[in-house]
Amino acid sequence: MFNWISQVVSVTQFSIRSLPERKGSAAAALLGIAGVVAVMVGVLSIAQGVLRTMQSSAGDSNAIVLRSGADSEMMSGLGGDDTRIIAEAPGIARDADGAIASPELFVVINLPMRSTGTDANVPLRGVQASAMKVRKDFKLVEGRMFEWGLNEVIVGKGARQQFAGLDIGSGIEVGQERWPVVGVFEANGGLAESEIWVDAAVLQPAYRRGNSYQAVYVKLADRADFDTFKDTLTSDPRLNVKPMRESEYYDSQSTTVYNLITGLGTLIAVIMGLGAVFGALNTMYTAVSSRTREIATLRALGFRAGPVVISVVSESLLLAFIGGLFGAALAWLAFDGYRAATLNWSSFSAITFAFDVNLKLLAQGIFFAMLIGLVGGLFPAVRAARQPIAQALREL
Amino acid sequence: MKYLYLIFSNLKRKKLRTGLTLLSIMVAFLLFGYLAAIRQAFEAGVEVAGADRLIVRHKVSIIRLLPQSYEARIERIDGVDNAMASTWFGGIYQEPKNFFAQIPVVPEELFDMYPEYVVSDEGKAAWLATRTGALVGRGTMERFGWKLGDRIPINATIWGKKDGGQTWEFDIAAIYDGAEKGTDTSQFFFRYDYFDETRANGQGLVGWYTVRVANPDKAAEVASAIDAEFANSPEETKSEPEGAFIQGFANQIGNIAFIIVSIMSAVFFTILLVAGNTMAYTVRERTNELAVLKAIGFTDRGVLGLVLGESLALTLVGGVLGLGLAMLLVSMGDPTDGSFPVFYLPTRSLLLGLVLIVAMAFIAGILPALQAQRLQIADALRR
């Protein structure tokens, strides 16, 4: 057994030391694999970014109430009376001002994207003071809060970056009026950062919504209170609503985009991976065939087939590992944190997000590279080991 | 002829290597074709958009509605041929992933405005005779296996019914086909009169107008004239060509074109390395032979052509196979299970693919070919 292992080690060392002699084809295989991993990690990081934006929007013990039948705030509608009834439900956390429940109005406004100049449906949210209490991560980072009752707005960090005309001092055109931007806020990287916020009482008449809202966000006293809260609302004959945990709601919002990108990204990665396997096979077959005599000599000296197979496979795996590492690093440098905007189909509004190259993706990429290396090395290795020694020695 | 024979025999001598290189080139072009179809799906409609059509919507927000009375006012503007009102219904058939557009329209207006939606005369008559009737595109009919006369329940998300219900029922009265390959046959049109009478609120309000101008060259002027007509009113408008509107919408989803071009560049770069490396290897391996060829009278140019020809043959076979496979795969349906309104490989992309094949063959082959051309017979034979 020890003999076998020492054979493996020496043959592997041998083939890896001879790598520099084949640097052209080795580099081609390595870069090929790096390309596959970079594209795969890059595309999937878009989906991860959208997912992370949604997940960091959800408050742990928060719930959202929509009209039943509505899948998103955009489709929902709740009268002013409904929102008052909802705020009285049991389970909601309270402070000096009463229940922490935030009725909100959600519409979109046309604003040009900075990247293309074409219009995007930028979310515009009408809020009351309780909105900041429900979202514990809300933080004003520049300028000041808008004055209640005035037509001033504050904008999310992501929205300011992606859409034109949202810097402090400029303003948005709403019909005949111009609403000045007075502040910029952060919300832990969540969805709110894509939005523009204004006093709900200002937004209602501008969009002809009377005294109506679309959603009520509530902070529960305890996570476990959700069931009581939900049962009370769904059994109230005055209401026709659907309470959900925020985490559930945001998950459902990102499903379409996440599945689409992940599905396409995986498909592309698999097809590219196939191409890279052929490239790796080519490299390793070439490597093996240029060393036919060498390998035959080793076999004639008494080295067994196993170590030969392992040495070829490990060379291929080594190349794939370096290629994968390189590709993953490239994707991380190029894409991580890159900000972009897309359309959230469920709410018909723009969301801004940052590409998220996380450890899981990097590991996936390198694993995929190793898989390519394994397939690319195994067949040539078996061929090398199977060659009849006498014939191989005679070969030029 | 003798060149073809030589090229062929050279490719044959290392069958495995030739095969593997061929396969990797094939994969590159398969991906090229498939991604071209995906890009087409995302930007569907931009190309088939009517040059003579404008889209008029609310200036502040796409979700704000416009009065139906605007139709007559738009039609009175100089240079306007016809105007048609549409509204986003946004209903759900069974579950949200079965997405397709449902739009209430006036049937006669639709036939006039969109001649590319081909409907038989019986179909037109049947739709006009059925108040709850729907005109459904072939794509959606096939996607759900619907038949003429089927009653389709659709859950409203925006438009509740007067009776308090959320489920609207439609009878499929007619089917439309696309006049062109790129025509969107996923839409579901139903009658505005039924819509307006049944909806709980919003009577007399519509989502947007499609306007046909008499002279496409004057489209921009007509668009400004329409916006000027409604300026300083509570409901101001924004008019733009249909193509620009659709492009703007595609841009919101993301810069798909850019992402796809980036991926393709990475793929081609990779494959170029593989193919170029193979070519370089075959030339190095055959230094002797090439020298012999030169010694027996092949010109420098002839040898250059030989190596380039080999590269071209390899890329051409692989590339054409890849494009063919992409066509086959695309014709098998789209990867999102029917969410794309159109999914096909445009001829333009096929042609671009052929150009890329030649370009790739040249780039992969040129260095080894030049090397072969510069070979000094005496030196090379001595090696």
Percent of chain B at pLDDT exceeding 90: 48
Percentages (nearest 5) of helix, strand, coil residues in chain B: 55, 15, 30
Q: What is the pLDDT of residues B248-271, one digit of tens each?
A: 888 888 877 788 888 888 888 877
Q: What is the rounded CA–CA span in Å between residue B134 and residue B172?
A: 5
Predicted local confidence at residue B83, as pLDDT: 96
Residues 58-77 of A with CB under 8 A from B: 69-71, 74-75
Residues B73 and B213 occupy one common structural domain: yes
Show residues of chain B in contact with A39, CB under 8 Å. 263, 266-267
Statement: residue A199 has pLDDT above 90: yes
Closest CA to B132 of B85, B196, B191, B91: B191
CA distance A222 to chain B (A): 31
Closest CA to A62 of A181, A168, A186, A216: A216
Give the range of the structural domain holding residue B112, as residue numbers without chain letter. Answer: 53-253
Estimate to the nearest angstrom the gap between the alpha carbon of B86 and the chain centroid. 24
Question: What is the DSSP code (8-state) at residue A100?
Answer: -
Residues B14 and B24 occupy one common structural domain: yes
Question: What is the DSSP code (8-state) at residue B223?
Answer: H
Question: What is the DSSP code (8-state) at residue A212?
Answer: E
Show residues of chain A in contact with B252, CB under 8 Å. 113, 118-121, 341-343, 350
| Mutation site, A282, A319, A338, interface B, largest B CB count within 10 A | A282
Residues B131 and B174 occupy one common structural domain: yes
Q: Which of B225, B253, B281 is the last residue of a domain?
A: B253
Residues in CB range of A78: below 8 A, 6 or more apart:
A65, A66, A67, A86, A103, A212, A213, A214, A215, A216, A241
With beta carbons less than 8 A apart as the criterion, state whether A111 and A122 touch.
yes
Q: What is the mean pLDDT of chain A?
A: 89
Are the beta carbons of A275 and B27 separated by less than 8 Å? yes
Crossing angle of helices B347-374 and B256-285, in 10° steps, is 30
Predicted local confidence at residue A118, as pLDDT: 87
Q: Which residue of A has its CA nearest to B98?
A: A256
Residues B14 and B115 occupy one common structural domain: no
The DSSP string of A37-94 is HHHHHHHHHHHHHHHHHHHTT--TTEEEEEETT-SSGGG--EEHHHHHHHHTSTTB-E
Locate the DSSP E strands across B200-317. 205-206, 208-213, 237-241
With beta carbons less than 8 A apart as the criterion, state whether A350 and A344 touch.
yes
Residues B35 and B64 occupy one common structural domain: no
Estimate to the nearest angstrom the gap between the alpha carbon of B111 and the chain centroid. 24
Closest CA to A45 of B38, B339, B259: B259
Residues 229-248 of B with CB under 8 A from A: 232, 234, 236, 238, 244, 247-248
Q: Which of A182-196, A286-300, B339-353 has the highest mean pLDDT?
A: A182-196
Residues B103 and B187 occupy one common structural domain: yes
Of A116, A264, A279, the CB nearest to B24: A279
**Coil, strand or helix at A176:** coil
Residues 342-361 of A with CB under 8 A from B: 342-343, 345-346, 348, 350
Question: Does B257 lie at the interface with A, CB-CB under 8 angstroms?
Answer: no
Residues 251-280 of A with CB under 8 A from B: 256, 260, 263-264, 267-268, 271-272, 274-276, 278-279
Question: A105 — phi, psi (to 5°)?
Answer: -110, 135
Mean pLDDT of A305-319: 87
Q: What is the rounded CA–CA span in Å between residue A196 and residue A124?
A: 5
ipTM at complex level: 0.80
| Mutation site, B18, B201, B273, interface A, largest A CB count within 10 A | B273
A139, β-bridge pairs: A186
Q: What is the rounded CA–CA span in Å between residue A22 and residue B147?
A: 64
CA distance A169 to chain B (A): 20
Residues B147 and B13 occupy one common structural domain: no
Statement: residue B338 has pLDDT above 70: no
Q: What is the rounded CA–CA span in Å between residue B332 and residue A377?
A: 33
Are the beta carbons of A71 and B278 separated by less than 8 Å? no
CA distance A297 to chain B (A): 22
CA distance B245 to chain A (A): 9
Of B232, B248, B281, the CB nearest to A119: B248
Show residues of chain A in contact with B231, CB under 8 Å. none
With beta carbons less than 8 A apart as the criterion, state whether A180 and A168 touch.
no
Q: Are strands B53-58 and A171-174 parallel, antiparallel or unpaired?
A: unpaired
Show residues of chain B in contact with A113, CB under 8 Å. 251-252
Q: What is the rounded CA–CA span in Å between residue B260 and residue B36?
A: 8
Q: What is the rounded CA–CA span in Å between residue B272 and residue B278?
A: 10
Are the beta carbons of A342 and B252 separated by less than 8 Å? yes
Domains: count for chain B: 2
Q: What is the rounded CA–CA span in Å between residue B275 and residue B368?
A: 11
Question: A243 — phi, psi (to 5°)?
Answer: -85, 140
The domain limits of chain A are: 2-55+253-394, 69-239
A149 — alpha (psi -120 to 50), left (phi > 0) or beta? Answer: left
Are the beta carbons of A116 and B251 separated by less than 8 Å? yes
Statement: residue A51 has pLDDT above 80: yes
Show residues of chain B in contact with A118, CB under 8 Å. 244, 247-248, 251-252
Residues B325 and B356 occupy one common structural domain: yes
Residues in CB range of A227: below 8 A, 6 or more apart:
none
Predicted local confidence at residue B325, as pLDDT: 94
Predicted local confidence at residue B337, as pLDDT: 67
Of A25, A108, A113, the CB nearest to B62: A108
Q: Which two tokens stand for residue B38?
A: 């995906």
Report residue A63's pLDDT band, with 50, 70 and 90 as the boundaries: very high
Residues in CB range of B88: below 8 A, 6 or more apart:
B101, B103, B158, B207
Question: A341 — phi, psi (to 5°)?
Answer: -125, 150
CA distance B253 to chain A (A): 5
**Coil, strand or helix at B265:** helix
Residues B10 and B116 occupy one common structural domain: no
Residues B285 and B320 occupy one common structural domain: yes
Are the beta carbons of A267 and B21 separated by less than 8 Å? no
Q: What is the rounded CA–CA span in Å between residue B213 and residue B83?
A: 9
Predicted local confidence at residue A127, as pLDDT: 95
Question: Does A164 lie at the interface with B, CB-CB under 8 angstroms?
Answer: no
Predicted local confidence at residue B383, as pLDDT: 65
N- to C-terminal Cα distance for chain B? 30
- Rounded to whole angstroms, the maximal C-alpha distance in chain A is 94
Comparing A286 with B153, which gets the higher pLDDT? B153
Question: Does B69 lie at the interface with A, CB-CB under 8 angstroms?
Answer: no
Statement: residue B201 has pLDDT above 60: yes
Residues 6-45 of B with CB under 8 A from A: 16-17, 20-21, 23-24, 27-28, 30-31, 34-35, 38
Are the beta carbons of B276 and A28 separated by less than 8 Å? yes
A126, β-bridge pairs: A105, A198
Burial class (CB in 10 A: 0-12, 13-18, 19+), B16: middle
Percent of chain B at pLDDT exceeding 70: 98
Residues B115 and B246 occupy one common structural domain: yes
Letter for the amino acid at A84? R
Predicted local confidence at residue A141, as pLDDT: 95
Residues B233 and B349 occupy one common structural domain: no
Report residue B230's pLDDT band, with 50, 70 and 90 as the boundaries: very high
With beta carbons less than 8 A apart as the criterion, state whether A86 and A101 touch.
yes
Crossing angle of helices A23-55 and B256-285, in 10° steps, is 170
**Mean pLDDT lowest for which of A263-272, B174-183, B236-245?**
A263-272
Mean pLDDT of B57-68: 90
**Mean pLDDT lowest for which of A381-390, B52-61, B225-234, B356-365?**
A381-390
Show residues of chain A in contact with B99, CB under 8 Å. 345
Statement: residue A69 has pLDDT above 90: no
Show residues of chain B in contact with A120, CB under 8 Å. 251-252
Predicted local confidence at residue A309, as pLDDT: 87
Residues in CB range of B205: below 8 A, 6 or more apart:
B65, B66, B67, B68, B87
Residues 172-231 of A with CB under 8 A from B: 173-176, 207
